[in-house]
């Protein structure tokens, strides 16, 4: 269960309205790497975490903070839209270059749909959606996704920092940049600790190493014509997991068959000249279990 205070985690007061920048800031709300993504990603990771204790508590602490980041930026957007020339006509825009420059850069839905407020969408107006998050239950895979999300988030925040010189907006972004720095360090540390605690290793998941074809876990295949890739540390030497050696396959050949699909079911009307014969029948089960026994008895 959650509780809320109207006070923002940090100030979000622009010095002046700027509806064009309000449009761009939507990226930090509803973009694939915006605050909504980290909020819901961490909440679902926390709810799906199978171990009470420090990992789950950390996830829920950070998740709960991130809802407050969505809030801060949503409020900032509303404030940047104050006094926006929302209902200015095109005639005004065409007659006044200043109005024209502003109108051209605004998000029409912030006025028409949200009445001067933020949308749950990115800077191209595409809505945030649930496929942007990942919560697999495997904490190594998930913490890596978290460190990546915080890195992309800080890159985007830094770019947006350079797109404004409003002291109030920059004030908020200086806080957000700092939190993104911290959270990158937090998830990197949590990955270290998962390994130190013996819960995970370098490769996720820590399983099926005996089943996978070890000889194919070693070499980068050279399939594009630039040849510098073999100069990197990934072309020879010990792999980060400490188990495999890196290699580099300079002239790889396809190992597989000719990739022909099977003959088609005539009732599906694929164009077909009969050259591969008829399709085999379904062969799904052994039918040696109960159903098989039943069939034997009754037919």
State the minimum distance, in angstroms, from the CB of residue 263 to its own copies: 6
Q: What is the CA radius of gyration of the chain?
A: 28
Does 53 show up as a binding residue in the annotation?
Answer: no
CB of 42 to its own copies, least distance (A): 10
How far apart are CB 38 and its own copies at their closest, in Å? Answer: 13
Which of the residues 35 through 94 are near its own copies (CB under 8 A)?
Answer: 36, 40, 43-44, 46-58, 60-65, 67-68, 70-72, 74-75, 78-79, 81-94
**245-249 vs 219-221, strand pairing mode:** parallel
Residue 226 assigned to a binding site: yes
**Residue 197, marked binder:** no
CB of 22 to its own copies, least distance (A): 10
- Which residues, 6 or more positions from 20, have their beta carbon under 8 angstroms from its beta carbon? 101, 102, 105, 106
Residue 245 annotated as lining a ligand binding site: no
Which x/- pattern over 2-41 shows residues binding its own copies (rule: CB under 8 A)?
Answer: xxxxxxxxxxxx--xxxxxx-xx--x--xxxx--x---x-
66 is in an annotated binding site: yes
Minimum distance from CB of 271 to its own copies (Å)?
A: 4
Flag whether 136 is marked binding.
no
Compute CA distances 23 → 20, 35, 47, 78, 174, whole Å.
Answer: 5, 16, 33, 10, 19
- Minimal distance in Å, beta carbon 64 to its own copies? 4
Pull the structure tokens for residue 161. 């920092």
For helices 54-80 and 35-47, the axis angle rounded to 10 degrees is: 160
Smallest gap from residue 245 Cβ to its own copies (A): 10
Q: Give the total of residues touching its own copies (CB under 8 A).
A: 232
What is the rounded distance in angstroms from the CA atom of residue 49 to the CA atom of residue 63? 13
Binding flags for its own copies, 141-180, as an x/- string (CB under 8 A): x--xx-xx--xx-xxx-xxxxxxxxx---x---xx-xxx-
Site for its own copies in 199-258 (CB under 8 A): 199-200, 202-209, 211-234, 239-241, 244, 246, 254-258
- Is 123 among the annotated ligand-binding positions? no
- β-partners of residue 249 are 221
Distance CA 75, CA 28 (A): 12
Is the bond into 262 cis (omega within 30 degrees of 0)?
no
| CA gap 78, 91 in Å, rounded | 26
Q: Is 93 helix (H, G, I), strand (E, B) or coil?
A: helix
**Binding positions for its own copies, 264-293, rule CB under 8 A:** 264-265, 267-273, 275-276, 279-293
**224 annotated to a ligand binding site:** yes
Closest CA to 27 of 70, 67, 64: 70
Q: Which residues contact 206 (CB under 8 A, 6 or more apart)?
A: 140, 200
Touching its own copies, residues 108-137 (CB under 8 A): 108-109, 111-137
Task: List residues forming the annotated binding site for Mn(2+).
Answer: 35, 66, 69, 150, 183
Task: List residues forming the annotated binding site.
Answer: 35, 57, 61, 66, 69, 150, 183, 224, 226
């Amino acid at each position: 269960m959650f509780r809320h205070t109207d006070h923002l985690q940090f100030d979000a007061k622009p010095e002046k309205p700027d509806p064009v920048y309000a449009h761009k800031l939507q990226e930090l709300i509803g973009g694939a790497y915006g605050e909504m993504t980290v909020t819901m990603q961490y909440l679902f990771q926390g709810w799906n975490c199978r171990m009470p204790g420090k990992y789950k508590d950390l996830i829920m602490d950070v998740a709960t903070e991130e809802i407050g980041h969505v809030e801060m930026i949503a409020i900032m957007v509303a404030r940047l839209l104050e006094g926006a020339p929302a209902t200015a006509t095109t005639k005004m825009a065409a007659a006044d270059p200043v109005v024209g420059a502003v109108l051209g850069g605004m998000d029409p839905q912030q006025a028409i749909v949200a009445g001067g407020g933020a949308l749950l969408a990115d800077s191209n107006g595409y809505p945030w959606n649930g496929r942007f998050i990942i919560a697999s239950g495997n904490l190594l895979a998930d913490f890596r996704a978290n460190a990546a999300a915080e890195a992309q988030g800080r890159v985007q925040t830094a770019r947006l920092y350079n797109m404004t010189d409003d002291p109030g907006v920059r004030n908020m972004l200086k806080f957000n940049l700092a939190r993104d720095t911290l959270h990158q360090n937090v998830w990197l540390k949590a990955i270290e600790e998962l390994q130190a605690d013996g819960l995970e290793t370098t490769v996720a998941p820590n399983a099926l190493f005996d089943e996978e074809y070890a000889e194919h876990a070693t070499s980068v295949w050279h399939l594009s014509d630039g040849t510098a890739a073999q100069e990197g540390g990934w072309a020879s030497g010990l792999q980060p997991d400490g188990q495999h050696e890196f290699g580099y396959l300079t002239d790889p050949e396809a190992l597989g068959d000719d990739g022909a699909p099977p003959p088609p079911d005539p009732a599906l009307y694929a164009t077909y000249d009969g050259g591969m014969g008829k399709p085999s029948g379904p062969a799904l089960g052994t039918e040696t279990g109960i159903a098989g026994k039943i069939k034997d008895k009754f037919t």
